[in-house]
Structure 1
Amino acid sequence: MKVMRIYKEGNPNLARIACLLGGAVWGVFWIPLRNLDEAGISGAWATAVFHTLPILLLLPVIALRTSRFRLAGVLFQAVGFTMGLSLVLYSTAFLYTDVVRVVALYYLTPIWGALLGRIWLKEQISGDRIVGIFLGLIGMLVILNVDQGLPLPQNGGDWMALAGGVIWAIAATLMRQKPQVDALTTLLVWFFWCSALAVILALFMQSDRALPQFNAILNQLPWLLPLILLIVIPGYFAITWGTPQLNPGTSGLLLMTEISVGTLTAAWLTSEIIGPREITGIILITLAGLSEVLLPALRNALRWTRSS
């Protein structure tokens, strides 16, 4: 089937679209996490529950793929570990600082990704990518009120977001070195490491080491299970399938659509105010995410116009 061939062999254009959609899903990621936190599943426990449920739902698939986990090797587990650690830090950061600060600091990722791609994979930083990085950085500085001082981390949540972005760039680079592992297997290992590391972080951060009440978790399942099945798992799968096909800097730029979605939803659902500054930043960051799609298309259109 054509779908299976694309899944196995990849498609650069669809990979870019997958990363764009995955970024949009991550843009609303903070909403269920804060709902869980308000329901008594606090701190990193919210992250642990959010990523343990997919593992439980996918147990039949895991049972069929145990041999693939063994054959993948240490590098594959390193990919899962870094992806899991990045997302745990990013997820938990939403519970300790503002949404806009989390997404902005996390999405310095294209800088780290482009540098790692150049140093580690010996890949050139294209002109389109430089334009995207430039637009993205300006957009982030606008949103973070650069005129009031440098947008440096101010609390634990800020530091978690920044560290998560650096670690995600490492994960994306490792994924480029292990492209033969299929996306579904990567997804399962990602969820495993997310849940395991989130539990460790929760035990480390909470002095009383109290587990969330089981009834509190049960009460959230009617809305949480459909969300995981219809949005979370497909969104994460899009990222695990699309990211290995792209340069780390490219995938980071495309995933920056999350900043726009996260800022808009935060302005809509929280007390965070969105004004001309925020709108300007959102436009710049969205253009950054689309730069490697729009600029080649624009050049092709200009060539076609001149030749006709």
Structure 2
Amino acid sequence: MSTLQLLRDGHQGLARAACLLGGVVWGVYWIPLRAIDAVGISGAWATAVFHIVPAMLLLPLVWHRRAQLQTGGASLQAVGASLGLAMMLYSTAFLYTDVVHAVLLYYLTPIWSTLLARAWLKEQITRDRVVGIVLGLSGMLVILNIEQGFPWPRNIGDWMALGSGIVWAIAANLMRRYPEHSVPEVASMWFLWCSALAVIAALSLQGTTALPPPGILVSILPWLLPIVLLLVLPGYLAITWGTPQLNPGTVGLLFMTEISVGAVSAALLTEEAFGIREITGIVLISLAGLAEVLLPAARRLGRSGSADN
């Protein structure tokens, strides 16, 4: 099978790998966002800048495929708008709360995704997915220290993270429902909608007084452009290709690799806590992301062993 045919027809195993890769990329997503914030581009303006740069790089593609974008109609715009809103909320959440809370509150999304897929797409809720969700939630509660009470959102950043997970569940179900939209169209609309919504949020939350000076914008481009080209665009394209091929709940579980990467990178680069509790949570969450792969493999191995005997 040629590469082009593989990309066009899809592949379940590679789709899972693409979503795992997307989770890894998102696990370090907070680093350039906070770097942008540190130079004086604060709050939602940091999110806007972070997505406007790749959106501008994709403008030639948008122009080249303008006919396809027009024929995509309302469903393409719904996919792009929901992806853009989810990412805008999630990206901005990192700037108003700590990394671990932002990541973990977002990752209630496997629950929302699974329930919505069952209600709307009539997809079965498998036993393996339930096991994965239980493992993932257990890991989340361990890291959030449930002994101190249920981890209700504490600030606007926490609420943004929780809301982004719900909106992402809607986006994943829309992508599953309308798989006919190609990766370039979906990715382009994703960045454009996220940029527009981030600017609206920045104007609403911060006003024009916090508008980034042109000099600062130019100064960050030498390091931001390589990050966008080598990390952001490949990660988003992988997610855009892999997500429509899988159950939305499965996608949410695979993305949970971000929690491990985010917690470890936050511990290494900031003063955020990292100990036995966090390690235990990461192990549980990692198992959750792999549950739908490991459990069927274990059953096949068990059946093979029984047959040999």
Alignment TM-score, normalising by the size of structure 1: 0.98
> Cα deviations across residues 33-76 of structure 1 (Å, max 9, x unaligned)?
00000011111111111111112112222221101110011011
> Cα deviations across residues 86-112 of structure 1 (Å, max 9, x unaligned)?
000000000000100000000000000
| 1:22 lines up with 2:22 in the alignment | yes
The 1-side partners of 2:208 and 2:3 are apart by 49
Aligned length: 308
How far did 1:299 drift? 1.8
Match of 1:148 in 2: 148
Match of 2:289 in 1: 289
Does the CA contact (< 8 Å) of 2:42 and 2:210 recur in 1? no
The 1-side partners of 2:280 and 2:210 are apart by 43
SS at match of 1:304: helix
> Cα deviations across residues 223-262 of structure 1 (Å, max 9, x unaligned)?
1101100110000001010011111111011111111111
The 2-side partners of 1:305 and 1:217 are apart by 61
The 2-side partners of 1:196 and 1:293 are apart by 38
The 1-side partners of 2:289 and 2:49 are apart by 30
How far did 1:208 drift? 4.8
How far did 1:305 drift? 2.6
Does the CA contact (< 8 Å) of 2:19 and 2:239 recur in 1? yes
Match of 1:121 in 2: 121
SS at match of 1:73: helix
> Which stretch of the first structure deviates more once superposed, 22-31 or 55-64?
55-64
> Which stretch of the first structure deviates more once superposed, 259-268 or 58-67?
58-67
The 1-side partners of 2:183 and 2:196 are apart by 20
Residue type at the aligned position of 2:234: P
How far did 1:209 drift? 4.0
The 2-side partners of 1:294 and 1:231 are apart by 28
Residue type at the aligned position of 1:299: R
Match of 1:216 in 2: 216
The 2-side partners of 1:56 and 1:177 are apart by 28
Residue type at the aligned position of 2:265: T
5+ long unaligned stretches in structure 1: none
| 1:236 lines up with 2:244 in the alignment | no
The 2-side partners of 1:237 and 1:207 are apart by 32
4+ residue runs over 6 A deviation: none
SS at match of 1:244: helix
Residue type at the aligned position of 2:260: S
The 2-side partners of 1:210 and 1:113 are apart by 36
The 2-side partners of 1:117 and 1:163 are apart by 18
How far did 1:207 drift? 4.0
Match of 1:254 in 2: 254
The 2-side partners of 1:247 and 1:145 are apart by 30
SS at match of 2:210: coil
Does the CA contact (< 8 Å) of 1:93 and 1:161 recur in 2? yes
The 2-side partners of 1:194 and 1:16 are apart by 24
The 2-side partners of 1:133 and 1:100 are apart by 18
Provide the identity percentage.
61
Match of 2:194 in 1: 194
How far did 1:303 drift? 2.4
The 1-side partners of 2:232 and 2:52 are apart by 12
Residue type at the aligned position of 1:140: M
Match of 1:65 in 2: 65
How far did 1:206 drift? 0.3
Does the CA contact (< 8 Å) of 1:202 and 1:209 recur in 2? no
The 1-side partners of 2:216 and 2:27 are apart by 25
Alignment of 1:77-226 (within 5 A): 77-226=77-226
5+ long unaligned stretches in structure 2: none
The 1-side partners of 2:245 and 2:216 are apart by 40
Does the CA contact (< 8 Å) of 1:203 and 1:209 recur in 2? no
> Which stretch of the first structure deviates more once superposed, 209-218 or 86-95?
209-218
The 2-side partners of 1:93 and 1:67 are apart by 35
